[in-house]
Amino acid sequence: MRALVQRVGEASVEVEGRVIGQIGPGLVVLVCAMRGDDESAAEKLAARITKLRIFRDDQGRMNRSLADVSGGALVVSQFTLAADTSSGNRPGFSTAAPPEDGERLYLHFAESLRDLGISVETGSFGADMKVRLLNDGPVTIWLDTADRA
């Protein structure tokens, strides 16, 4: 699975003009299931994100995790993280998981974060969403479970 993680002061997601999820300080996690991913990939990604030390400590160093700061997570499905731009100007998305697998793994990922004690809000899989965020830092981190064996 792939994720783009942004440390935020606040964030929200809306569908059809209605806010369906919002958080205060924490992380916006744009997440994409890739072909061949399974529940264990979602669980590993959730564990990595929960422990990722990208929040400031008392000395201003990035030394605290989402769990350490009791931050929230706004999880939004983002199949475009699978974009392949290697041949031409139009991205291809054939490496993304099929929609039924993508939705299942997206929901499992969000639930895995909850199981780790994180307060989670979500977008709506497959919907046209508007995401608003106040990036803190800015801090933006790319994660891919395929990068770790």
Q: How confident is the model at residue 146 (pLDDT cuts 50, 70, 90)?
A: confident
User: What pLDDT is recorded for position 147?
Assistant: 79
Contact yes or no for 138/4 (Cβ under 8 A): no
Mean residue pLDDT across the chain:
96
CB proximity list for 13: less than 8 A, separation 6 or greater: 19, 20, 21, 22, 74, 76, 121, 122, 123, 124, 129, 130, 131, 132
pTM above 0.85, yes or no: yes
Percent of the chain exceeding pLDDT 90 equals 96
Name the active-site residue from 6, 78, 122, 145: 78
Contact yes or no for 49/73 (Cβ under 8 A): yes
For CA atoms 86, 92, 96, 97, the dihedral sign is negative
Name the active-site residue from 6, 50, 79, 122: 79
80 is an active site residue: yes
Q: Per CATH, which fold does 2-147 belong to?
A: D-tyrosyl-trna(Tyr) Deacylase; Chain: A; (3.50.80)
6 is an active site residue: no
Is residue 148's pLDDT more than 70?
Answer: no
CA distances (Å), origin 4, targets 1, 7, 60, 62, 64: 10, 10, 23, 18, 18
Domain locations along the chain: 2-147
Residue count of the chain = 149
Q: Over range 121-138, report the average pLDDT.
A: 96
